[in-house]
Structure 1
Amino acid sequence: MLYYEDIEVGKVTSFGEYKVTREEALDFAHKYDPQSFHIDDEAAAKTHFGRISCSGWLSAAMMMRMVVDNMNANKQAGLGSPGVDNLRWLKPVYPCDTLHCESETLSKRISRKRPYMGILKGRITVLNQNGDRVMTMESTGLIEVRGD
């Protein structure tokens, strides 16, 4: 199990692989973000995207899937998150892209009110198959303190 004490400030970790499908992009957009450049080939071709692009909210959801898969694979003693800051969509994500993540721990401290809980600040960067940064966000994570 990976606890607060095991987290190193400044460490960058690469993880995940998510292949974006056209079907998933269209399905998500129709349900949650039905803007023409997410659902209509002809309309999207006339925009600066040039073709159908994924909703930024789908990009965030795909990132979250990779983050949770990574946490589960590393058996992290995570306790959730009170939120994120500075979410930015830097470049479009398109169907057929393959995404992966880089995570950097920016700071950590033990909660004053709950000393069994560590508070981590981190930055997650999502990159496409060309190494282009497509999304960034800063997050606060909560993690169990081993207490050794």
Structure 2
Amino acid sequence: MTNAVKYLDDMKVGDRAAFGSYPVTREEVLDFAAKYDPQAFHLDDAAAAKTHFGRLSASGWHTCAMTMRMMVEGLTVGGQASLGSPGIDQIRWLKPVYPGDTLRVETVITEIRPSRSKPDIGTVHSDITVFNQSDAPVMTMKSIGLLKRRPAEA
């Protein structure tokens, strides 16, 4: 059985979703940091040990990227009428993410707003929390997604 596409009209404030299981690997932490955030505590064990992190840690931007991967995989099961995003209102990195951690995501819809100028789309505002394997929150963000409205023929 195939799940139906979720349009803006299918969602309501308070809807929750939980998904993802993303293992954080040392190789990926080093690769991401080398390419996009080449700070010593993301690249070198000895340098990281001398910081408040205590050991090699993932870049916060890497945590965002892993979260995006889990969200796309988790929220598009059966299809979603996603049109991307106009942005993120807030990101907070609460705890370091380390190689060996396993991340997961929980979302809650806080606002739904049909567009006044483009009646075929609208925005969904969500609070997103990323947890590690100990259920400790490691990152939060307030996200805005653009979604299609249900077509008249659907």
User: Shorter-normalised TM-score: what interval?
Assistant: over 0.9
For 1:85-96, what aligned pairs fall within 5 Å after superposition? 85-96=89-100
Structural RMSD (CA): 1.0
Structure 1 partner of 2:44: 40
Question: CA-to-partner distance for each residue in 1:62-104, whole Å, 9 max, x for gaps?
Answer: 0000111112214111111100011110100000100000011
Give, in whole Å, the separation in 2 of the partners of 1:140 and 1:72.
16
Question: CA-to-partner distance for each residue in 1:20-56, whole Å, 9 max, x for gaps?
Answer: 0000000111111111111110111111111000000
Give, in whole Å, the separation in 1 of the partners of 2:70 and 2:79.
14
Structure 2 partner of 1:17: 21
Structure 2 partner of 1:79: 83
Q: Which amino acid aligns with 1:41?
A: D
Structure 1 partner of 2:114: 110
Displacement of 1:118 in angstroms is 1.7
Secondary structure, counterpart of 1:73 in structure 2: coil
Q: Which amino acid aligns with 2:99?
A: P
Aligned residues: 148
Q: Which runs of 5 or more structure 1 residues have no equivalent in the other structure?
A: none
Tell me which of 37, 55, 58 is aligned to 2:59: 55
Q: Which amino acid aligns with 1:45?
A: A
Alignment TM-score, normalising by the size of structure 1: 0.96
Secondary structure, counterpart of 1:70 in structure 2: helix
Alignment TM-score, normalising by the size of structure 2: 0.93
After superposing on structure 2, the runs of 4+ consecutive aligned residues of structure 1 that deviate more than 4 Å are none
Structure 1 partner of 2:11: 7
